[in-house]
A = this chain, B = another copy of it.
Amino acid sequence: MPAKPKSISMKFAELLKGEAAQESALVGQYCFGLAKELWPINRSLTGPGVRQTLDILRRELPGLTLHSVPSGSQVLDWTVPDEWSVREAWIEDADGRRLVDFADNNLHLVGYSEPFEGWVERDVLERHLHSLPEQPLAIPYVTSYYRRDWGFCVSHEHRQTLGQGPFKVNIDSSLEPGQLDYGELVIPGESRKEVLLSTYVCHPSMANNELSGPVVATALGRWLAAQDRLKYTYRLVFAPETIGAIAYLSRKIDHLREHVTAGFLLTCLGDERSYSYVPSRASDTIADRVAQHVLKGIAPDYRKYTWLDRGSDERQFCAPRVDLPMASIMRSKYGEYPEYHTSLDTLGEVVTARGLQGGFDALHNAIHILENDIVTRTTVLGEPQLGKRGLYPTISTKHSVTAEVQTMMDVISYCDGRLSHFDIAEKLGLPFDRVQSICAPLMEAGLLEVVD
């Protein structure tokens, strides 16, 4: 287990006070270090692995509160499952040689495997083995949450070497009433309107899907907590995917429907190969528009998916009658990269500090827009006289109206008290920050005033 990334973390807290944060790779390094610390833990929907994970996140995010829902609780249409714990799990041959061992890789055991001990022949074992012929070196990630069963996952090459048996199988697990755990952090802003950031903590040792999500969420949380002033209140949720989101919604739906203005789902934020966007169900919320603006700026060739390509907790948060305005900003999307849901989705090969930095930056930029967007209007009728304020060239010839001045005048011409600066950026095909930096001196000069 790596040392706690304290030293990076300290620098980070300072860095994150300013804009410098995103320009540096330190945030990516912080995320990478935290992911290494979380890597070996055997997370699942429930059980000690989730609690260990949340404890580490609480160390990084002091205000994080932990919550639990008892097994058997009805949450919306679902029932919280029993808690799953694994002490050991292995397959041995007749000579006592350990052929497969959960201790080597927590993907070896099918998630939610029930306890089993006994000798089985190869044909019986076969029915409990999972491998991927087309990816012979990958251990697949398999779960059986809602049907009692047991099983082992091995690489297809490994599977060929197991011999004919008989095999001694030992799964010392328990499936007993316990609880489902999740963490929540509220960072208050000036408005009671909220931005919701949701990520999940229920996968064992896989890096892009899932560790990149919680570690970038943690970095965002630290950055937000370090701000002197926030317009919106931020709510960060770390819960198991699907059942955790459902349990969370079952407790918070009324509050969320009333307060959430925009939100983002944080997953698959760590590789360097691409940027991706999955829309909300409505597909045209402010979160959707901002996500696309940011990605167009960072990576014009970003992959734009549709609602029909969804696959994570937008299925809950954007379900009919829930309909929170939440979009997904990702690097390479779940299901779309070859290492997805296998032992090949690793820190180092797939997820890098630079990849995580890119994921953080995209979300940082999106939040930056939400925080800073305003509606302004000109205080004067007709074009303002920029010359007398030193904002405009005083001699006019055929060629003197430069592109810069033209863009400034274009922006002013749309400051009509209806379009926001973000709207204007979209309309003019400009980066949001360009519009902001054009308007700042105009506001200072009293030529633009904020509306609302």
Contact = CB atoms under 8 A, between A and B. Distances in A.
B321 A76 contact: no
Number of chain copies forming the complex: 3
A260 to B, nearest CB: 15
Nearest to A318: B413
A195 to B, nearest CB: 21
A71 to B, nearest CB: 15
A320 B414 contact: yes
Interface stretch (A57-65, A172-180, A374-382): A374-382
A307 B413 contact: yes
A414 B319 CA distance: 8
Contacts of A415: 320
B398 A140 contact: yes
A287 B146 CA distance: 45
Interface residues of A, number: 63
Contacts of A310: 413
A413 B378 contact: no
A57 B245 CA distance: 63
Contacts of A410: 308
Contacts of A190: none
Contacts of A227: none
24 contacts: A76-B381, A77-B383, A140-B397, A141-B398, A142-B397, A144-B394, A146-B387, A147-B395, A246-B382, A249-B382, A281-B413, A307-B413, A315-B382, A315-B383, A316-B382, A316-B383, A319-B378, A320-B413, A320-B414, A320-B417, A322-B381, A322-B382, A323-B416, A340-B398
